[in-house]
Amino acid sequence: MRERTLGRSGLTVSALGFGCMGLNSDYGAGLARHDAIGLIRDAADCGVTLFDTAEVYGPYTNEELVGEALAPIRDQVVIATKFGFKTGDLASGMDSRPEHIRAVAEASLRRLRTDRIDLFYQHRVDPDVPMEDVAGTVRELIVEGKVGHFGLSEAGEASIRRAHAVQPVTALESEYSLWWREPEQGILAVCGELGIGFVPFSPLGRGFLTGRIGADTVFAANDFRNDLPRFAPAARRANQVLVDTLGHFAADRGATPAQIALAWLLAQKPWIVPIPGTTRLSRLKENLAAVEIELGDDEVAQLGASFAALPVEGDRYPPQLAAQVGK
């Protein structure tokens, strides 16, 4: 597996990480515990060294899976988790008060079976807590050896700069893919300027860009895509043209749509590390093979221009979730 360094932090990880959320959270029933642990270990065996989780995934149980799976090889991997909500229920609201950050860190350390969190993200910016207090608290945790690096998730430019001035931000984790290009409007430039790595979540459009989801696909009742406007049947039908465009390009390269979507992201910046998730070993291996696909500058530009010319139907989030991002 090739490696990349997240910005100027010195934190080196596999070029593709593994997003663990979907193993048992948000995307339907997920896997049985034994199978989820097995897939995490399969990813490690394939060379993945960055594993992403959060207290709210499950809630809490996703961290436990990751901790148990990686305990035998703890010193060979990088574990990222997150703080920022009052409880494991997202509806409870945000809470990044210093005392709560510390409480979450201690609880996450126990669940992850480790003595340090390699990368500790603020899950969402808390409008009621100054960013300087948040960054200062994580700085203290770093000095104490309980945290290795500080990260932000879905933060806006002003918050990134305020945080970075107190404690250097190692990585910004936000959604980025061929059908969600918003980071290109300024966030990537800020990351480049400040030496911050960028970790795209949902790099395959929550599965849509793989070509395996159609307008008639029925999601499980507890699959949160049921609540996303972009995944309404009419939106999926309208957005099929994007998948078709990607499919034609992939066929010409002898690759799968997922591999081309990931290769396109990897070609954007050398400090970008996508974290696709899956519940299948075959898909994991398919995704990881994207690291070996070298797209030429003309191909990167052609694919980006083709998608930019196609309108995307449906908002990324419903209003209550959209209000939490970009702050």
Catalytically annotated residues: 57
233-253 vs 257-266: helix axis angle to the nearest 10?
A: 80
Count of all residues that appear for the chain in the document? 327
3-state secondary structure (DSSP) of residue 309: coil
- Please name which of 93, 271, 52 lies closest in space to residue 183, comparing C-alpha atoms: 271
How many angstroms separate the CA atoms of 139 and 132, rounded? 10
Which pair of tokens denotes residue 91? 């509806």
* Cβ-proximal residues to 233 (8 Å cutoff; 6+ apart), any chain: 215, 216
Alpha helices by DSSP H, listed for 115-155, are: 131-143
3-state secondary structure (DSSP) of residue 99: helix
3-state secondary structure (DSSP) of residue 19: strand
